[in-house]
């Protein structure tokens, strides 16, 4: 039975702003692969290629949020693709005050932390847990809290 608790992990990211079209698309590796994270003194988790195989089929369902609140939508994913380095994501940022602020922070290089929020389907008793599947996915910035759902 899947876990019902939303979990999150933090990563440093290098997001970029797409200059062509309307200039409201940010992109980059949102979740790196093969990077171990110590969860507890006895548990280490790592994202592996293939973990997002279901999620990438419907990128429009993945939201980018400011903070950890579901009412703070900045935009949505337009493309999610698994690469050898990690989950590559492109997000269309909505034309709102908060969206404009987020775009400026990306331009300035100040938005450099994302958290991925997820509901894993895995064996929590395995001390070297490999994340295999998710029910939900979201991302958030830790400097300027942004989530992706």
**Which tokens go with 32?**
């790196």
Give pLDDT, residue 121.
60
- Tell me which DSSP letter residue 35 carries: -
Q: Going edge to edge, which strands form the sheet with 113-121?
A: 7-12, 113-121, 133-141
Q: Is the pLDDT at 59 greater than 80, yes or no?
A: yes
Output b/e per residue, 35-67; b: 16+ Cβ within 10 A. Answer: eeeeeeeeeebbbeeebbeebbeebeebbbbbe
Three-state secondary structure call for residue 103: helix
pLDDT computed for residue 1 by the predictor: 37
Mean pLDDT check: name the lowest of 58-72, 100-114, 123-137.
123-137
The C-alpha atoms of residue 100 and residue 63 are separated, in whole angstroms, by 16
Q: What does the pLDDT read at residue 66?
A: 78
Q: How many percent of the chain have pLDDT more than 70?
A: 74
* pLDDT value, residue 147: 44
Alpha-carbon dihedral sign for residues 134, 138, 139, 140: negative
| Token code pair at residue 120 | 């894993």
pTM of the model: 0.78
């Amino acid at each position: 039975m899947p876990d019902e608790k939303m979990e999150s992990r933090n990563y440093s990211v290098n997001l970029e702003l797409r200059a062509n079209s309307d200039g409201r698309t940010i992109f980059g590796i949102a979740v790196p692969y093969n990077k171990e994270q110590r969860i507890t003194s006895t548990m280490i988790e790592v994202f592996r290629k293939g973990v997002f195989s279901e999620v990438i089929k419907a990128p429009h369902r993945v939201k980018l949020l400011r903070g950890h609140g579901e009412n703070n939508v900045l935009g949505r994913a337009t493309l999610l693709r698994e690469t050898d380095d990690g989950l590559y994501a492109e997000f269309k940022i909505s034309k709102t005050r908060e969206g404009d602020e987020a775009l400026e922070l990306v331009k300035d290089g100040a938005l450099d932390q994302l958290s991925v929020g997820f509901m894993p389907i895995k064996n929590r008793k395995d001390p070297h847990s490999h994340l295999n599947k998710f029910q939900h996915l979201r991302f958030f910035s830790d400097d300027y809290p942004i989530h992706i759902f």
